[in-house]
Structure 1
Amino acid sequence: MWALRRASAKSIKVQGLRSRTVHTCDALDSASGYVKAKLGNSKGPEFTHVRWSTFERFYRTVQIPARFSLGSCSLSSQSGARSGGEEEDNLEDGFSELETSEISETLKDSHLASDNELLSEPELSDDNDDVEEEASENELISGTETDVTERISQEKRFPSALFKAIMDDPTQSVNHALDKFMADGMDLNRSEISHAMLNLRKRRMYMKALQLLEWLESNKRLDFVERDYASRVDLIAKVRGLQKAESYMDSIPKSCSGEVVYRTFLANCVAANNVRKAEEVFNKMKDLDFPATAFACNQLLLLYKRIDKKKIADVLLFMEKENVRPSPFTYKILIDTKGQSNDIAGMDQIVDTMKAEGVEPDFRTQAILARHYAAGGLKEKAGAVLKDMEGGNLKSNRGVCRFLLPLYADLGNADEVGRIWNICESKPTLGECLAAVEAWGKLKKIEEAEDVFERMLKTWKKLSSRHYSVMLKVYTNHKMLSKGKDLVKKMGDSGCHIGPLTWDALVKLYVEAGEVEKADVILQKAVQHNQGKPLFSSYMAIMEKYAKRADVHNAEKMFHRMRQAGYVSRARPYQTLLEAYMNAKAPAYGIRERMKADNIFPNKSLAAQLAQVDAFRKTAVSDLLD
């Protein structure tokens, strides 16, 4: 941790700090790097208990909320909890490539399958490393990482009879399937249950997994331990929401309500972007004297990376206070944050520190670096990282191919994409096919993308909505409305479950084609049918189009529907709503009070928008008339 802060301090000297103004990456520099000048007496009562001699520049440039107490080692969401504006612009669906690739620590699926989305079709990748990651930390709470790896290996040789019974039951009722399973005299041991749970989670069939646990608990067929309770908390949060999960936690015996249960709930709060609840759970864990862990701190880092990057400093200070050693994922978060802020020098400093601490970047970390290098126009550096990822023999290092394909496409290098695909083409995995479709789409080679997708349709009997959505996104990006419609019809004919990912692609397809009203109807029907919770980006795509049209009525309607879906306390919808009022040259009565009620505190750009739509704004002309 000390070395990490020292390394990042160098980028402060290079960039400098503006007086009283700190960019996001500067705040991270100050928080994650040790300043060599020593601190005298701390300024301000909230800092009098801090004894470190390394934060003078940080304290003088970044205002840490007074309620954040290093002495009590707690976090609190107060004024300034939202940075708003530009930092929210990158949120889109709330997850970056970093977050979606690290399933084990971020619980990505709880965002994609949140609240009501109960996916019923297989969503399998035949890449075992994904499964192991998904199961290793929180996705499969009921066993250790070693146990999970062994069960995955066993699963290939001995398919789960319990899982087969659940899937083949003609009534599609888990309770009926379990009753029949027992009536047939089958053995219901923990190993069999674990195999079934693993298969259900792999397919994101969270409702069935939850019903399995509920049946086991109610029928006393399994002696529940802490990880079983934690697994149920996780599933309840995914299926029924955080409030129901928290209520269930109150019923867990105290002997089984430990750190694993709370960290599981914390991860789901973070996945839902619920800042207040996440901080509340984190503080509760401290009150219960649970040890401070890198996992819990990483969850907060991940949350603040999406919502308020300036508060990353608070977590790093806490980690130093509690002597929490950064994990490899901690470095990934900081690297990605630097990259998002376009601070390439700072990103490189963190990588150097990471290596100095004996942590070598894995290919996921390298993929993050290459993506940010490419976005920053540093194609040579990105290419060098990709060559390093390949290693000496790509045929024996096939696991990186699905990362290399879209990254080479980001560089516009069609020859390299073709070379990588030629290595995979003889016997590609599903993940490699999806990556190839995405890569060819980025390169505007639609026919090549379609050829790979057709091969997927022939090779795998039933593709999921997630797999179709990759091809649908290609059509969306190139405004190919007719082909997009045909693909959605093909999805329906195949019996594929159409969920939020498909709606998102479909909504954007119609929006890009200029048919925003049709996109609005599609989204409204999806909600009415109660088939899941649409993504944040789906609402925003429509709302932004209404704002550009100066259609205040429909922009307000979309804003209200977003609130109903649970997307509240974000600056970006308010920015878009204000844009609608500005374009319509209409005053926005009560907008400041609405923002205050949602705990949104305007930054400079948002404040400028508010001034323009203020119904009681004074101008030189209005003063004369008055």
Structure 2
Amino acid sequence: MWAVRRASIHLRNRGLSLGTARIWCGKSEIARWCLENYNAGITKPQEQLCDGLLSSTRFNKSKSSCSKSQREVRTFSSQAGASNSGQEDDDLEDGFSELGKPSYVAQEATSGDESESESEDDLISRSELSEEEDVAEDVQNELEVLGTETDVEEKKSPKTISAMTKAILDAPTSSVSTVMDKWVEEGNEVTQNEVSLTTFQLRIRRLFIKALQLSEWVESTKRLEFNEVNYASRLDLIAKVRGISKAEEYLKQIPKSFRGEIVYRTLLANYVSCTNVKKSEELFNKIKELEFPMTCFTCNQMLILYKRVDKKKVADVLLLMEKENIKPTIFTYQILVDVKGQSNDIIGMEQIVETLKAEGLEPNTRIQSSLARYYAIGGLKDKAEAILKEIEGDDIKIRRWVCHLLLPIYASLGREDEVERIWKVCEPYPQSKQCMAAIEAWGQLKRIENAEAAFDKLLERVKKPNSSHFAALMKVYANNNMLTKGKDLVKRMVESGCRVGPLTWDAVVKLYVGAGEVEKAESILEKAIKQKTGRPLFSSYLTIMEKYSRRGDIHSTEKIFLMMRQAGYTGRLRQYQSLLQAYINAKAPAYGFSDRMKADNIFPNKTLANQLARADAFRKSALKELLE
């Protein structure tokens, strides 16, 4: 049994409601531990949180209240859909007008030779763009989605690439089908192992289009008999390259005998990467209804989802795992460390690590870096530096691969000397991720020239820079309100032929908001939406929304709220907190606000409950309304 020790139990001192107490009855310590911090300030009984999710070891078949359409649009009190001060969509007359005219717009590949000119990392994974802070999780999913952890460890760092992979990479402008036809003509054999390894090696290079073309070639030429893993791989690649809707269509084409747990969990991972709560929960329920074995990978997906949108439900997933006797993996513990760290629950975070060790596991480098980061955020400088020294080891030159983790954390601690020391180790022959970490670190320390030098070093190392590379320096300019330098960087980006994507839009939006030009930032965001080069990040909307909220501009705040819903960002406390604050700052009543939250299955925490109370003070009495 893998019960997690409770972190700081003070139940007797907490005035929990009867409804809350009932849901605790019979739960394991891990569930109680997770619910503990999230019940404080909740104003409604917590039976509603699970919504039938865990009424038994089998999921309730009734639909969750979360399953209301994410795209549902309501009429807001400010009629947010109206135009904003007559502002034109293409009102971008300054240095950022180039963003409206990129040298090319990446198109979704359909077949043949389309979109074959990408560099190795030019096609940024959709999962990387779906959430601003969850890239590492999506990389882990990429490694695990089609195999066990053992398989992953065996494949993670192959000493040499396969011959098939080398043939494909050596012909970057040729379609995979052309390369493979030549491969066969030269007498090479096409085996399941070779195809699997090549697909994996293309995936870790983010060459999803080529991986998809390889899958299509294998099936069309009938070189191999497809199994469930092959179908799951194809579905995953379709989701990444052509979108979720195309993946759903492909699912219907897979023979029923091959539509097993691997296929469904693969689709679930893609729903989660897009933070599609409704479809994720429905598919999770379906996996249970079909009586497929419930795996830790599948449960981890729901933990990732709820870590992002509703931490209260983390406990429900953990309880299910215990009932189903599902042993947590190291990745499960990583998610739980993040949950506690994001809540600034340092004691709970440390208890997770203690439990991990009690299970015979050791914190990996990613968990250690998370601990150091949360210690730094919590002001525990000594603890953070102690962890960083553990990560570094006895000789940083031998462990150069951890430098990109150390640089930004040392910068957050204000340790310029340590940043300089580590960067000197990397500087002669840096990897791209080390350059980007150095850009971020020097930016935090306000050493702009050093950040620019690290960017120049990055351009020396990368043959064809992508939007994430430019966005790293753009973020530095945004954080330091350097609008002119930001404009110049965009010009360089466009001249390089780089695709303008969500990461760049996000940096530019923040650049303008930081300069006090929020209306211009909104105009840029609208243009980004119309260009369809990827869904703008959640933070892009929220940055603008919070600026309007602070002004007490209800109309504009409601408009951004509506845009977020239309983009699929729904059901998050941050949105409602920012929106409600706009009403408070405008000293206006927020009629029907609780009903709107309930429709999105949102229950207020302590902060939001206080905001609701403040907004209620602006309500007019029925008599006063009649007299007016």
Query: Structure 1 length normalisation: TM-score?
Result: 0.78
1:358 aligns with 2:364: no
- Does the CA-based 8 Å contact 2:27-2:319 persist in structure 1? no
Aligned to 1:393: 395
Aligned to 2:296: 294
**Superposition pairs for residues 502-513 of structure 1, below 5 Å?**
502-513=504-515
1:68 aligns with 2:53: yes
Aligned to 2:71: none
Aligned to 2:152: 145
Aligned to 1:446: 448
- Does the CA-based 8 Å contact 1:475-1:481 persist in structure 2? yes
Q: What is the alpha-carbon distance in structure 1 between the residues aligned to residue 456 and residue 375 of structure 2? A: 33
Aligned to 1:189: 190
Counterparts in 2 of 1:402 and 1:234: CA distance versus 1, 3 Å:
same
Aligned to 2:8: 11
Q: What is the alpha-carbon distance in structure 1 between the residues aligned to residue 185 and residue 513 of structure 2? A: 54
Counterparts in 2 of 1:159 and 1:268: CA distance versus 1, 3 Å:
closer
Aligned to 2:460: 458
Aligned to 1:123: 121
Aligned to 2:101: none
Counterparts in 2 of 1:215 and 1:596: CA distance versus 1, 3 Å:
farther
Equivalent pairs, count: 561
Counterparts in 2 of 1:51 and 1:327: CA distance versus 1, 3 Å:
closer
Aligned to 1:315: 317
Query: 3-state DSSP class of the match of 2:293?
Result: coil
Counterparts in 2 of 1:612 and 1:120: CA distance versus 1, 3 Å:
farther
1:256 aligns with 2:258: yes
**Superposition pairs for residues 141-540 of structure 1, below 5 Å?**
144-145=151-152, 148-149=155-156, 152-155=158-161, 160-165=166-171, 167-169=172-174, 177=178, 189-190=190-191, 193-194=195-196, 197-198=199-200, 200-218=202-220, 220-540=222-542
| Deviation, structure 1 residue 203 | 4.5
Q: What is the one-letter code of the residue matched to 1:436?
A: A
Counterparts in 2 of 1:509 and 1:130: CA distance versus 1, 3 Å:
same
Q: What is the alpha-carbon distance in structure 1 between the residues aligned to residue 481 and residue 535 of structure 2? A: 25
Q: What is the alpha-carbon distance in structure 1 between the residues aligned to residue 408 and residue 485 of structure 2? A: 22
- Does the CA-based 8 Å contact 1:266-1:282 persist in structure 2? yes
Counterparts in 2 of 1:372 and 1:279: CA distance versus 1, 3 Å:
same
What's the CA shift string for 1:16-46, capped at 9, x where partnerless? 6411179xxxx9xxxxxxxxxxxxxxx86x8
What's the CA shift string for 1:1-30, capped at 9, x where partnerless? 44x42x22x5215x86411179xxxx9xxx
Q: What is the one-letter code of the residue matched to 2:266?
A: T
Query: 3-state DSSP class of the match of 2:383?
Result: helix
Query: 3-state DSSP class of the match of 1:250?
Result: helix
Query: 3-state DSSP class of the match of 2:253?
Result: coil
Q: What is the one-letter code of the residue matched to 1:12?
A: I
Counterparts in 2 of 1:121 and 1:562: CA distance versus 1, 3 Å:
farther
What's the CA shift string for 1:380-419, capped at 9, x where partnerless? 1111111111112222122211111111111111111111
Query: 3-state DSSP class of the match of 1:395?
Result: coil
Q: CA RMSD in A?
A: 4.0
**Superposition pairs for residues 471-620 of structure 1, below 5 Å?**
471-588=473-590, 591-603=593-605, 605-606=607-608, 609=611, 617-619=619-621
With 377-386 and 218-227 compared, the bigger mean Cα shift is at 218-227
* Identity percentage of aligned residues: 51
Aligned to 1:104: none
**Greater relative contact order (CA < 8 Å, ≥ 6 in sequence):** 2
Q: What is the alpha-carbon distance in structure 2 between the residues aligned to residue 525 and residue 459 of structure 1? A: 32
What's the CA shift string for 1:453-501, capped at 9, x where partnerless? 1112123222111111111111111111111111111111111111111
- Does the CA-based 8 Å contact 2:440-2:473 persist in structure 1? yes
| Deviation, structure 1 residue 538 | 0.8
- Does the CA-based 8 Å contact 1:132-1:148 persist in structure 2? no
Query: Structure 2 length normalisation: TM-score?
Result: 0.78
| Deviation, structure 1 residue 149 | 4.6
Q: What is the alpha-carbon distance in structure 2 between the residues aligned to residue 121 and residue 17 of structure 1? A: 58
| Deviation, structure 1 residue 260 | 1.2
Structure 2 gaps, min length 5: 40-44, 69-105, 110-114, 125-135
| Deviation, structure 1 residue 250 | 2.5
- Does the CA-based 8 Å contact 1:469-1:505 persist in structure 2? yes
- Does the CA-based 8 Å contact 1:135-1:145 persist in structure 2? no
Counterparts in 2 of 1:597 and 1:545: CA distance versus 1, 3 Å:
same
What's the CA shift string for 1:215-247, capped at 9, x where partnerless? 543454542221111112212333444343233
Q: What is the alpha-carbon distance in structure 1 between the residues aligned to residue 219 and residue 240 of structure 2? A: 19
- Does the CA-based 8 Å contact 1:162-1:181 persist in structure 2? no
| Deviation, structure 1 residue 619 | 4.1
Q: What is the alpha-carbon distance in structure 2 between the residues aligned to residue 368 and residue 59 of structure 1? A: 22
Q: What is the alpha-carbon distance in structure 2 between the residues aligned to residue 157 and residue 437 of structure 1? A: 36
Q: What is the alpha-carbon distance in structure 2 between the residues aligned to residue 606 and residue 209 of structure 1? A: 46
- Does the CA-based 8 Å contact 1:115-1:532 persist in structure 2? no
What's the CA shift string for 1:557-585, capped at 9, x where partnerless? 32232222222233332333333344344
Query: 3-state DSSP class of the match of 2:497?
Result: coil
Q: What is the one-letter code of the residue matched to 1:74?
A: F
Counterparts in 2 of 1:58 and 1:303: CA distance versus 1, 3 Å:
closer
